[in-house]
Amino acid sequence: MEYKYAKNENYEDFASGRVLYHGRGMTNFPVRLAQEIYKRCLQFSPIKEDICLYDCCCGGGYLLTVLGFLNQDTIGRIIGSDINPELLETAKKNLSLLSEEGMNKRIAEIKEMLSSYQKQSHIEALNSAIALRNMLRKKIKFEVYRFDALKEINLKAKPDIILTDVPYGNMVDWTGNEENNILDKLLDTLYGICSPDTVIGLCMSKKQKIRNEKFIRLEKQQIGKRKFEILKKD
């Protein structure tokens, strides 16, 4: 796949565990790829500003937080949900970094570690935190919920873009389901919270398949061991 939107930049300020919190069992998603998928979804969306972005398997909120930083011009609200309550606590901490208060709190935390341990990694974390704080232009509202995405998602809002990196075995697997048509089941749940304009960017391993007839595929791309599909309601 050729990148159309996301530049080949140094994204190390977003390294998980540096300024953004890394929770136990969290996976890492490449920042450039996340940005590319978001921008491609935005291209298909008739709504171009004040976007409500939702991730139904948000884990520690890494993907959502990074996208929040990089897309303050288009994102107005972020919603994350996951089945794992422990990861949701990390998601809240990560998403709080999208405000000056949250980032100042994180900077104070890093400064305290630096004065206690004087590690090079803490100096790097402090520099990255200052760089991320300088990126902040507005406060993005966020909400975090515990939902089983295969059963019921109880959102009041209809998200404009749903971007999610689904479990695919190695590090994280689906909780609560053994069936092999699992992505179709996920799409059945998502159907209820989509407006006709909602655009879904679904990231999965290249072995996973979608056959849900309630949605049409707008795009499909493969990158290494991953693939993503962009869908909307038929």
**What is the dihedral sign for C-alpha 23, 25, 31, 34?**
negative
3-class DSSP assignment, residue 91: helix
Residue 23 CB, nearest approach to ligand SAM (Å): 8
Residue 16 CB, nearest approach to ligand SAM (Å): 8
Report CA-CA distances (Å) from 198 to 8, 34, 55, 215, 221.
28, 18, 13, 11, 19
CA distance 220 to 30: 18
Nearer to ligand SAM, 74 or 90 (CB): 90
Contact between 37 and ligand SAM by CB under 6 A: the answer reads no
Q: Which stretch binds ligand SAM (CB under 6 A): 4-12, 69-77, 79-87, 108-116?
A: 79-87
- The answer to whether 79 and 143 are in contact (CB under 8 A) is yes
Residue of 79, 83, 126, 140 interacting with ligand SAM (CB under 6 A): 83
Nearer to ligand SAM, 83 or 126 (CB): 83
Number of residues that bind ligand SAM (CB under 6 A): 24
Residue 117 CB, nearest approach to ligand SAM (Å): 26
CA distance 187 to 191: 6
Task: Kindly identify the residues of this chain, within the stretch 109-148, that bind ligand SAM according to CB under 6 A.
Answer: 148
Residue 123 CB, nearest approach to ligand SAM (Å): 26
What would the two tokens of residue 112 be?
A: 């305290």
- The answer to whether 53 and 78 are in contact (CB under 8 A) is yes
Contact between 58 and ligand SAM by CB under 6 A: the answer reads yes
Contact between 20 and ligand SAM by CB under 6 A: the answer reads no
Triad 41, 46, 52: Cα angle to 5°:
65
Tell me the one-letter amino acid at 132: L
Residues contributing to the site for ligand SAM (CB under 6 A): 26-27, 29, 55, 57-63, 82-84, 87, 148-150, 165, 167, 172, 174-176
